[in-house]
Chains A and B, each alone.
Chain A
Amino acid sequence: MSTVTAIEKKPEATTAPATTSISGSVAVLEAFIAEGVSTIFGYPGGAIMPIYDALYDYNDKLEHILVRHEQGGIHAAQGYARTSGKVGVVFATSGPGATNLVTGLADAMIDSTPLVCVTGQVFAHLLGTDAFQETDVINITTPVTKWNYQVTDATEIPHVLAKAFYIAGSGRPGPVLIDITKNAQLQKFDYAGYQKCTHIRSYRPKPIVRKEYVEEAAKLINAAEKPFILFGQGVILGRAEKEFKAFVEKSGIPAAWTILGESAIPTDHPLNVGMLGMHGNYGPNVLTNECDVLIAVGMRFDDRVTGRLDIYAKQAKVIHLDIDPAEIDKNVKSTVPVWGDCKETLPMLTDLIQPKTYPQWLAKFNEFRKQEEEICIYPEMHPTDDVMSMAEVMNLLNELTNGDAVIVTDVGQHQMVACRYAKFNQSKSNITSGGLGTMGFGLPAAIGAKYGAPERTVIAIIGDGGIQMTIQELGTIMQFGAAVKIIILNNQFLGMVRQWQQLFHDKRYSFVNITSPDYIMVANGYHIAAQKVEHREQLRQALTTMLNHNGAYLLEIMVGKENNVFPMVPQGCSVAEIRLK
């Protein structure tokens, strides 16, 4: 570390009086402050030490959360971004630090989460020499970033970070990675202040709205008899919840959500008819293949939503509202494409439609709802045997939180159950790994979610498999006191895989039997209050204790070993072939 003088003495020759000389590292932190960043998740290492050194003096302005693994750091930043609506920020060192970010980048990319990741890199003159902890981070992360860039000269930093924040947060948001070589972090340069980026020549975050298409769409809607709205995260990312609600209410059209769109309108809204997709509700899935006009708002027709594409909504005229032109016609051919930010296009559309109601059509959804209630929902929420179900936990939780909590889930059966049954009153409340389905997401994302929405109750719902993937983040909770409520729904299996093995592989349970440590001891080891619930009689009290507890709390709830999540659209089937059992 002592030989950095070679670099330090370089560009100081002419110090203009109007500017000050600062290091690249300081420039990074100044950029963060100018962008309104207050929380950074990260993990230090050799190649990012100059930035951490600079951070030492910024303690009062920037809060840094030391995670226990870079994957935890990036998932935390995702949780933070998703509850706060701001850009999440991550630090990692070169090599292994940077490669540990890859899963989170892929997750953020597919779920359009705005992130700026800063990774340290070896000295520029060592690039490409297989130097210690050197990896080609830019090429590794290219497919999983919206944009990335390697900085080798400190003078680029203010400008490149301004670009990074602009790209991450604008248009269809996404993760951006900036790799900064160590010499650039150390290098001093004349700093003329920070200027936010609002424009890049080759980048059009929002497509131009074509009015004639909006008019065309309104015509279709006005003539429809059985129209149906599908909404996704685009509504939340576009901050268009109000505009969306106005559209739904004036149009009187039933609306169903993808799991990332959940909470964009309240669960109890009379026109909210439930969840789409593989484990979605019965009615919305079946009636997708019966509606005459399908209006997709900020959703991308993922295969988990559409099932078999060649027999998906073939009878319907499709109106697709999306900010990303590449999404339109990608999976489902639209009759009328409406390019644009739905915060702008929805009010235009609302203006042009007639106020209407569809009592008979809506009644159909309710009929299906009744059947589902009878065959699935009621028995799941009110089991008659001694074995606790995931659904009854969610049911009780809804009652106790009044639909005001942020629910963060991991991936598996519990995720589907939580998303199906959670009640939400406000937007940005359902934080889950949708497109990538990343086990290990839940615990760190919940930590980040708490920093993003400190005034709200944050409850993580995690399986016994997923918690063991990133359990080390209990250490982060311990050290920084993030008041996260953790519920482990322990079915002693990798439940979702076991369900598939049961249904599609003749019950050949191949390596899905997973044992758990004593979570209560583990939690206590991290000085986190914890309790295990094995009997129904304890459940209400335990949940109440957890919710009232001041600080983090871990609750392990033993649930049925071989319960399944239904309804289900089996893979390769049409949404109309959804099974109730």
Chain B
Amino acid sequence: MLKQEYTLTVYTENQIGLLTRIAIIFSRRKINVESLNTSPSEIENIHRFNIVINETEDVVRKLCRQIEKQVEVLKAYYSSNDEIIWQELALYKVPTDQVAEKVQVERLLRQYGARAVVIRSDYTVFEATGHREETDKILEILAPYGLIEFVRSARVAIIKKSKGFHEKLQQFEQSEPGEEVIENEYLGDNAGVFSM
């Protein structure tokens, strides 16, 4: 079986420590995570992980079962690239004088869908979202002009076919609402307490 890019979508409880639990499922098997993104989902108290790895389908399927086995995981899906709509966000910081003089900024903005987010006298920050090749292309164009800094986000993805899970989640939420995470009132309270 051929290795290819797979995106895992994992719905979880909002729980401290779960990131480690999920991460060690990959590290234990010596699987490199290409990108990992976690954020609240459309439903309160339910978080969503997007994890990109390069593996065979067989391995990915097993990984999903191991992930789903975790107590606080509601559901884990995996999808190949043609089953999802996905984006990454990239920021590019370049010296303003260089860009102004040498880059065809207009072309950059129009043709590659970039956007200037900050323009200062010393530097300009461009933003672009898209697939890897697209954000890479802009990087390539800007590189010769004294690129100061570059950063790219993890992948965010939406599964083309998965309209069902949103409903399921809402049903979950109605019938069995999640617990609130209790904030610890003593943390940060540096009371002068001795301990043994």
Contact = CB atoms under 8 A, between A and B. Distances in A.
B1 interface: no
A3 B62 contact: no
A18 interface: no
Interface in A146-197: 146-150, 152-153, 155-156, 159, 167, 181-183
A7 B186 contact: yes
A126 B193 CA distance: 9
A377 to B, nearest CB: 39
Which of B71, B187, B194 has the largest number of chain A CB atoms within 10 A?
Answer: B71
A97 to B, nearest CB: 13
A143 B24 contact: yes
A203 interface: yes
Contact of B176 (A10, A124, A126, A201): A201
B196 interface: yes
A142 B21 CA distance: 6
B160 interface: no
A324 interface: yes
Nearest to B75: A202
Task: Give chain A's interface residue range (CB within 8 Å of chain B).
Answer: 35 or more
A211 interface: no
A123 interface: yes
A199 B191 contact: no
B20 A139 contact: yes
A132 B195 contact: yes
A131 B194 CA distance: 11
Nearest to B188: A125
A159 B180 CA distance: 12
Interface string B69-105: 1011110000000000000000000000000000000
A138 to B, nearest CB: 6
A123 B196 CA distance: 10
Contacts of B172: 201
Nearest to A147: B71
Interface string A309-331: 00000000000000011100110
B192 A3 contact: yes
Contacts of A2: 194
Which of B13, B28, B196 has the largest number of chain A CB atoms within 10 A?
Answer: B196
B126 to A, nearest CB: 38
Interface string A198-211: 01111100000000
Which of B20, B68, B186, B188 has the largest number of chain A CB atoms within 10 A?
Answer: B186
B171 to A, nearest CB: 11
B193 A152 contact: no
B147 to A, nearest CB: 37
Interface string A77-97: 000000000000000000000
B66 A142 contact: no
Contacts of A325: 65, 68-69
Contacts of B74: 201-202
Which of A150, A183, A202 has the largest number of chain B CB atoms within 10 A?
Answer: A202
Interface in A1-28: 1-4, 6-7, 10
A123 B186 contact: yes
Contacts of B179: 159
A125 B71 contact: no
B184 A153 contact: yes
B181 to A, nearest CB: 10
Nearest to A11: B185
A127 interface: yes
A46 interface: yes
A4 to B, nearest CB: 7
A49 interface: yes
B195 A182 contact: yes
B190 interface: yes
A295 interface: no
A326 B20 contact: no
Contacts of A326: 62, 65-66, 68-69
A152 B196 contact: no
Interface in B41-69: 61-62, 65-66, 68-69
Contacts of A10: 185
B187 A152 contact: yes
A393 interface: no
A125 B182 contact: no
A294 B171 CA distance: 40
B17 A138 contact: yes
B124 interface: no
A183 B186 contact: yes
B40 interface: no
B184 A49 contact: no
A180 B189 CA distance: 17
A131 B184 CA distance: 18
Interface in B142-194: 172, 176, 178-179, 182, 184-194
Contacts of B24: 142-143
A324 B71 CA distance: 13
A89 B189 CA distance: 32
Given A7-B193, A139-B20, A124 B184 contact: yes
Contacts of A49: 196
A143 B24 CA distance: 7
Interface in A377-407: none
Contacts of A329: 61-62
A330 B62 contact: yes
A416 B150 CA distance: 60
Nearest to B196: A46
B184 A126 contact: no
B152 to A, nearest CB: 28
A47 B196 CA distance: 7
A127 B188 CA distance: 10
Interface in A113-139: 122-127, 131-132, 138-139
Nearest to A152: B184
A124 B190 CA distance: 9
Given A153-B184, A202-B72, A330-B62, A142 B193 contact: no
A218 B26 CA distance: 37
A183 B16 CA distance: 19
A369 B21 CA distance: 46
A454 B161 CA distance: 57
Given A142-B24, A146-B71, A46 B185 contact: no
B9 interface: no
5 contacts: A122-B195, A124-B186, A150-B16, A152-B184, A183-B193
Given A1-B196, A181-B186, A326-B62, 16 more contacts: A46-B196, A122-B195, A123-B186, A124-B184, A125-B187, A132-B195, A132-B196, A138-B17, A146-B71, A153-B184, A153-B186, A155-B182, A183-B186, A201-B13, A202-B71, A202-B73
Interface of B: 12-13, 16-17, 20-21, 24, 28, 61-62, 65-66, 68-69, 71-74, 172, 176, 178-179, 182, 184-196
The 10 closest A-B pairs by CB, nearest first: A46-B196, A152-B184, A326-B65, A124-B186, A201-B176, A202-B74, A147-B71, A6-B191, A203-B71, A326-B69
